Structure 1
Amino acid sequence: MTTAGSWILGALLAAVTGGAAAAGTLERVAETGVIRAGTRADAVPFAFRRDDGGFQGFSVDLIEEIRKAVEAKLGRPVRTEIAAVTPADRIQRVAGGELDVVCEITTPTWDREAKVDFSIPFFRDGTRVLAFRDTLKTTPDVKDMTVAVAEGTTTAAILERALPGVATRAYPSMDAAFAALRAGEVQGVANIGIILLGLARKLEPDRSVVLLPRTEPLGNEAMACVLPQDDSAWRDFVDATIVGLTRGLGDYRGRYVEIYDRWFGRDGVLVYPLDRSTRDYLLQADIWAR
């Protein structure tokens, strides 16, 4: 972590914890040395399984940065236990106290905010529909397609707002939704564009696909880590860690860019350049005066 990032962490923690007042997640981790984290197993390249069964991806690296920051703060070894979550269970597992943090592709909503808290955004992308190119010969328009979505996501609501009356079918995971597309049960599958391209790369690497609409996305979604409700010390700590990672982002340098390039750069799992509007959006999340 940069010197500036460490300074932010110290300032935030001093303001919110007040020594003996520190309670909740940070206090428990100080006692156990374990962060209980969750991420997805099917969201390439944000979070997916390695051949040995472990997890890898952009959001897995973000969890590791949080772990290192906690370890530095506490001055003791800290390890992370990572569990696989699904769109259907990720909110409840944090709200129920099973997990301390979930980082993957969760979008904050007010309904979810009633049960959990969220960090500042660490990513943003647009919602689109992926179809096999040959599908466009018979169903050229998204509004005429039956579109697969993952259960427990905001995708169906976004589609309905953008394309009133569009037919959707919910599946328990993105892998299952994509399998329905391959089987011909649906003509498209919806999510943020980067996830759709990752699935296509993993499951149908030799088949031509297209993201629709070709111009503007159906909606923009921010991604944030899910955190326990009413634990401001832990929320501020995670926020400060993310802010520290974005130091230098304005000039396309720093730790955030290093992690981004590992997964989305020229030699990454999926080439998806960081555009200026997303960069500026992430930088605007740093609202703290120094």
Structure 2
Amino acid sequence: MIRKDLLRLSIGALALAASCTGAAFAQASGAAPSASPAAAPSRLDAVIARGTLRVCTTGDYKPYSFLKADGTFEGIDIDMAESLAKSLGVKADFVKTTWSNLMSDFLAKCDIAVGGVSTTLERQKRVFFTQPYMVDGKAPITRCADAAKYQTLAQIDQPGTRVIVNPGGTNERFAKQYLSHAKLTVYPDNVSIFKQILEGKADVMVTDASETLLQQKLNPGLCSVHPDKPFQYGEKAYMVPQGDVTYQQYVDQWLHLARETGQFDSIRDKWLK
């Protein structure tokens, strides 16, 4: 027992001596004691102090985000953004953007971007994504009478096929990568684009499976083609500023709780069922 006590005393003495020696060296050399770097301000604090959550959204992508004639937005992600703002004790301020300008507008004007945004590695280079809230993928939508003709990419990617696509997002990139032989039309209005197929001005569009399911309900005569087996794997998530882990973790936790408590399911079903 005495040996153990002596050993503890010896170790303590050595530690104290090392500490004193280090302090003495620092004092002799004129070096200032090291201090922990101050944490960078978080967007979380800025949003709360401002009293508003600035939300970038395109407003042209049902069921996620749609700009109504009265100037207000509606959809799954609009309700979710309102929920996030409420959790922070602030108001949601929606900023209209386009798919082509989504990244630049988000970086300059917004705290979060919502509205059916697909996660991509290219976007990941400039922003953080939250955890995904929906798994999705690209699927065709066409006139029901032509559904059997457009089951595969090979069937669609033919010179005689008129493919239509909205500009600036993952739909356009997908079409240009995989449908190089088809006749491709970039149509500027993502709201009325499906009418072009219904009216026979285009044959098919490849977009997110969730959108094809909604549009076949909104446009009788159009059919979603194997939405349960999309051409590629995809995810929907929210864009938040790169590098701000504190803010990202708050949004992730809010989203996690919304999904686990059934709040997200309730909002999703409101717009999809």
Shorter-normalised TM-score: what interval? 0.7 to 0.9
1:113 is aligned to 124
Moved more, 117-126 or 148-157: 148-157
- Of 94, 109, 123, the residue aligned with 1:82 is 94
Whole-Å Cα distance in 2 between the matches of residues 81 and 243 of structure 1?
A: 23
- Of 111, 114, 126, the residue aligned with 1:103 is 114
2:157 is aligned to 143
Considering Cα pairs closer than 8 Å and 6+ residues apart, tell me whether 1 or 2 has the greater RCO.
Answer: 1
RMSD across aligned positions (CA): 2.7
2:39 is aligned to 21
Q: Which amino acid aligns with 2:207?
A: N
1:44 is aligned to 62
Name the SS for the 2:71 alignment partner.
coil
Whole-Å Cα distance in 1 between the matches of residues 137 and 205 of structure 2?
A: 14
Name the TM-score, length of structure 1 as normaliser.
Answer: 0.70
Whole-Å Cα distance in 1 between the matches of residues 44 and 50 of structure 2?
A: 10
Q: Which amino acid aligns with 1:116?
A: V
Alignment CA distance shift 1:117-1:173 (3 Å): farther
Whole-Å Cα distance in 2 between the matches of residues 157 and 35 of structure 1?
A: 30
Alignment CA distance shift 1:217-1:136 (3 Å): closer
Q: Which amino acid aligns with 1:48?
A: F
C-alpha contact (below 8 Å) 1:160/1:166 kept by paired residues: no
Name the SS for the 1:31 alignment partner.
helix
2:72 is the alignment partner of 1:54:
yes
1:268 is aligned to none
Name the SS for the 1:175 alignment partner.
coil
Matches within 5 A, 1:181-192: 181-192=197-208
C-alpha contact (below 8 Å) 1:124/1:223 kept by paired residues: yes
2:272 is the alignment partner of 1:256:
no
Q: Larger radius of gyration, structure 1 or 2?
A: 2
User: What is the count of residue pairs matched by the alignment?
Assistant: 232
1:4 is aligned to none
2:182 is the alignment partner of 1:174:
no
Identity value in percent: 21
2:233 is aligned to 220
Whole-Å Cα distance in 2 between the matches of residues 214 and 225 of structure 1?
A: 22
C-alpha contact (below 8 Å) 1:171/1:177 kept by paired residues: yes
Whole-Å Cα distance in 1 between the matches of residues 46 and 201 of structure 2?
A: 47
Alignment CA distance shift 1:33-1:139 (3 Å): closer
Name the SS for the 1:260 alignment partner.
helix
C-alpha contact (below 8 Å) 1:40/1:104 kept by paired residues: yes
Q: Which amino acid aligns with 1:142?
A: I
Alignment CA distance shift 1:221-1:215 (3 Å): closer
1:65 is aligned to 83
Name the TM-score, length of structure 2 as normaliser.
Answer: 0.74
C-alpha contact (below 8 Å) 2:157/2:178 kept by paired residues: no
Name the SS for the 1:105 alignment partner.
coil
C-alpha contact (below 8 Å) 1:156/1:168 kept by paired residues: no
Alignment CA distance shift 1:89-1:214 (3 Å): closer
Whole-Å Cα distance in 2 between the matches of residues 215 and 257 of structure 1?
A: 19
Per-residue deviation at 1:182?
4.1
Alignment CA distance shift 1:169-1:192 (3 Å): same
